[in-house]
Amino acid sequence: MRVSVLRLGHRKGRDARVTTHVGLASRAFGAGRIILSGDRDPAIMDSLRKVVENWGGDFGISYEGDWQAFLKGFSGTKVHLTMYGLPVYQVVEDLRQGDGEVLLVVGAEKVPGLVYELVDYNVSVTNQPHSEVSAVAVFLDRLFKGRELHREFPEGKRRIVPSAKGKEVIMQPRAQGGLPGND
């Protein structure tokens, strides 16, 4: 199953860190790409690309000015994460039956009502206010049944060795050799 995340309504400045965290959580929990919409914000795209370069995998990062056209044109299953939606545990099994492409839609502060209509599912990860970052992460963790926590991210420059007390990071020789002084 390939999951894309569409981040709606990004506002430069105000949403910078939350949008970056949405991107990082999307990647870490197994989505294949993020599509940013709202204000165009090259700094965020660069910072996400840098994470991919350093930590590996082939997570895609792109910008889409016309999110309505993108959403309408997407041929897979469209899921909007919203505290008003149906509980994730009620719909996740249905979603796993699908043939592959899933688009997760997450808003910033205000999501246009049209989004609720254009998607196949409005899904809540709790009906309490929290964060698009936690909604994406918990949704993906449940969709993939935790398998994404065992995933390898190939071709990164760095890899962590899990440690009880400290920080152990392996610098990968291949990338180190290939990109000298680029750290």
Least distance from C-beta 70 to a second copy, angstroms? 20
Q: Cα separation of 175 and 181, whole Å?
A: 11
Least distance from C-beta 24 to a second copy, angstroms? 4
Q: Cα separation of 159 and 2, whole Å?
A: 24
Which x/- pattern, by CB under 8 A, does the window 84-123 give for a second copy?
Answer: xxxxxx-----------------------x--xx---xx-
- Total of residues contacting a second copy (CB under 8 A): 53
Please list, residue by residue across 69-103, b when 16 or more beta carbons sit within 10 angstroms of its beta carbon and e when fewer do: ebbeebebbbbbbbeebeebeebbeebeeeeeebb
Listed in sequence order, the residues at least 6 apart from 21 whose beta carbon sits closer than 8 Å to its beta carbon are 133
Q: Among the residues of 33-182, which ranges form H helices? A: 42-55, 67-73, 88-97, 113-118, 132-143, 173-178
For a second copy, the closer of residues 63 and 116 by Cβ is 116
Least distance from C-beta 38 to a second copy, angstroms? 15
For a second copy, the closer of residues 54 and 176 by Cβ is 54
Q: Cα separation of 21 and 15, whole Å?
A: 10
Q: Is position 45 an interface residue for a second copy (rule: CB under 8 A)?
A: no
For a second copy, the closer of residues 69 and 114 by Cβ is 114
State in Å, rounded, how far the first CA of the chain is from the last one: 33
Q: Cα separation of 78 and 82, whole Å?
A: 13
**Dihedrals phi, psi of 124, to nearest 5 degrees:** -105, 140
Q: Which of 25, 44, 81, 102 binds a second copy (CB under 8 A)?
A: 25
Least distance from C-beta 77 to a second copy, angstroms? 14
Pick out residues in 132-171 that bind a second copy (CB under 8 A).
Answer: 133-134, 136-138, 141-142, 146, 148-149, 153, 159-160, 162-169
**Residues engaged in binding a second copy (CB under 8 A):** 14-15, 17-18, 21, 24-25, 27-29, 51, 55, 83-89, 113, 116-117, 121-122, 124-131, 133-134, 136-138, 141-142, 146, 148-149, 153, 159-160, 162-169
